[in-house]
Amino acid sequence: MTSKPGTYPTAIDIAVSVRSGERTASEVLEDHLARIGSSDAEIHAFNHVMVDEARSTAEAVDSAVEAGENPGPLAGVPVALKDNMCTRAVPTTCSSRILEGWKPPYDATVVQRLGVAGAVVIGKTNMDEFAMGSSTENSAFGPTRNPRDTSRVPGGSSGGSAAAVAAGFVPISLGSDTGGSIRQPAALCGVVGVKPTYGAVSRLGLIAFASSLDQIGPFANTVADAAVLLEVIAGHDPGDSTSIDEPFAELSPHLDDGVVGTRIGLITEMMGEGIDADVAARTREAADALEAAGATVEEVSIPAVTYGLSAYYLVAPAEASSNLARYDGVRYGNRVEGNTTDEMMFATRTQGFGDEVKRRIMLGAYALSAGYYDAFYGKALKVRTLIRADFQVAYEKFDVLLSPTSPSTAFPFGDKTSDPMAMYLNDVCTIPTNLAGHPAISVPFGAGDDGLPIGVQVLAPPRGEQQMFTTAAVLESAAPGDAE
């Protein structure tokens, strides 16, 4: 099966029609449930579809409209959530056996905000286990297929959320991005994906992979839809100590501002070795398109980004080794019994986690362990400082930066599963922004030689989302569309 973005109504269209009474939220929901019903057996975007909960939410939205109230900017818009965001009384698994069947007793902040905005949460999407992976093949419940070519991976780790949007199951969804887990699957599935500035979106209720890198962000078929969704979920949350205590940028009113005079830097280190030729070519075309729209584009070197992958694969596993310690079979989740507490914990974790999770937990424990901390984790934290500093220098000269999102288009299942390092290289262009805490967006821009979508990444300085979205909107309108 193949499908293209743009053939389904956007979130903004749906919200307008629901608010005006032209359509009911319930009708909208049933349309989407029908599409899920007919195609998700093949795509496997969802771990869990919340049919009953979604129907009652939609009814509540409809009652509000009937009562003359405004249900909010996402009135009646179906939204899918990556299965690492806590939803009260609804299974939240991180696609892991260890949490299979677990129902959180509380909602994540983003879930609460979606509710306030009138959105209809429709289900929980498949992912690489605990968000560790770049293909969604590490899900304990089986992989998600790329709607653009079902023989290929959707990318990861938020593969389910990307595929759900690409397949038209939902107009918008949320993923989480630790090293590229929103942007890379967005690129591979041909949709828009945003990793906001660290601290822009609350992490409360997001099941942690690497706390200093994780951010929740939107997927959408259009830049405008992504902007609305981000505006809804962003903003200060006193429940997250790392949340930015200032109003989030206005995005939607500035999408048509254009890029005349915008200074754009094309990152040299992300255009050479390791990047497929077609991907590099589309990225150059994207730069040309921006130039044609009035921006100035120059190449810029950000030397420290070449150390991003190394730093990332020490920092993220280190934090993960600690964040995933709590899955010990004592308080929640699945337990494998043992004669002592220790035996129970060993058995629970050994049987509950998949190989990639175990690999990263052990790598992280090693990087933090006595005698190795300075050489590995400590050094990686210093590299983060260098990366941030190099970006800072670049942002003195440029407003936004440009690069490919992923080095290649979607790859076939099993292509990289036996070689962790090959899989990790998928994230080489996306990782540096996570390490720096900066925002970035992936916008579809044409197709590769194989006809599969290619994404171009716009990077911005911290809290620079407004100009980032404006630039993305220009790219979107200039995009050549699919090769097919």
Active site residues: 82, 157, 181
Instruction: Give the torsion through C-alpha atoms of 298, 303, 305, 308, to 10 deg.
Output: 170
Provide, rounded to whole angstroms, the least separation between the CB of residue 310 and another protein.
4
DSSP 159-218: HHHHHHHHTTS-SEEEEEESSSTTHHHHHHHTSEEEEPPTTSB--TTBPPSSTTT-EEEE
**By C-beta, is 311 or 447 nearer to another protein?**
311
**Matching residue, tokens 């905005």:** 117
Stretch that binds another protein, among 53-61, 283-291, 367-375, 450-458 (CB under 8 A): 367-375
Stretch that binds another protein, among 156-164, 205-213, 406-414, 451-459 (CB under 8 A): 205-213
- Residue 338 touches another protein, criterion: CB under 8 A: yes
How many residues in the shown chain lie near another protein by CB under 8 A? 96
**Matching residue, tokens 């009708």:** 27
Q: Which of 239, 294, 451, 481 binds another protein (CB under 8 A)?
A: 239
Number of alpha carbons in the 13 Å side-chain half-sphere of residue 105: 3
Q: Which of 80, 120, 259, 309 binds another protein (CB under 8 A)?
A: 309
What separation in angstroms does the CA of 259 have from each of 252, 289, 294, 443?
15, 10, 6, 16
Q: Using CA atoms, how far apart are residues 273 and 284, in angstroms rounded to an integer?
A: 15
Within 425-484, the residues that bind another protein by CB under 8 A are 436-437, 462
Q: Which of 307, 391, 445, 469 binds another protein (CB under 8 A)?
A: 307
Q: Which of 26, 92, 157, 466 binds another protein (CB under 8 A)?
A: 92
Stretch that binds another protein, among 74-82, 95-103, 390-398, 406-414 (CB under 8 A): 95-103
Provide, rounded to whole angstroms, the least separation between the CB of residue 360 and another protein.
9
**Full strand arrangement of the beta sheet holding 172-177:** 46-49, 120-125, 78-82, 172-177, 215-220, 192-195, 440-447, 453-459, 400-404, 263-267, 296-300
**By C-beta, is 254 or 335 nearer to another protein?**
335
Q: Which of 246, 298, 326, 477 binds another protein (CB under 8 A)?
A: 326
Q: Which of 4, 48, 55, 103 binds another protein (CB under 8 A)?
A: 103
**Matching residue, tokens 């973005």:** 5
**By C-beta, is 287 or 363 nearer to another protein?**
363
- Residue 370 touches another protein, criterion: CB under 8 A: yes
Within 30-89, the residues that bind another protein by CB under 8 A are 84-86
Q: Which of 16, 27, 102, 480 binds another protein (CB under 8 A)?
A: 102
Per-residue contact track with another protein, 266 to 305, x per CB under 8 A? ----------------------------------------
For residues 173 and 165, the answer to whether their CB atoms sit within 8 Å is: yes
**By C-beta, is 215 or 262 nearer to another protein?**
215
Q: Which of 60, 281, 365, 478 binds another protein (CB under 8 A)?
A: 365
Q: Where are the beta strands (DSSP E) in 222-353?
A: 263-267, 296-300
**What kind and span of H or E run contains 111?**
helix 109-116
Within 378-407, the residues that bind another protein by CB under 8 A are 378-386, 388
What separation in angstroms does the CA of 272 have from each of 186, 421, 443?
22, 19, 20
- Residue 417 touches another protein, criterion: CB under 8 A: no
- Residue 106 touches another protein, criterion: CB under 8 A: yes
Q: Which of 426, 433, 178 is nearest to 318 (CA)?
A: 178
Burial of 242 (0-12, 13-18, 19+ CB in 10 A): middle
Read off the tokens for 480.
């050549």
Within 161-200, the residues that bind another protein by CB under 8 A are 198-199
Q: Using CA atoms, how far apart are residues 402 and 290, in angstroms rounded to an integer?
A: 10
Stretch that binds another protein, among 16-24, 274-282, 329-337, 448-456 (CB under 8 A): 329-337
- Residue 310 touches another protein, criterion: CB under 8 A: yes
Provide, rounded to whole angstroms, the least separation between the CB of residue 460 and another protein.
14
Q: Which of 246, 343, 397, 481 binds another protein (CB under 8 A)?
A: 343
Q: Using CA atoms, how far apart are residues 337 and 393, in angstroms rounded to an integer?
A: 55
Provide, rounded to whole angstroms, the least separation between the CB of residue 409 and another protein.
24
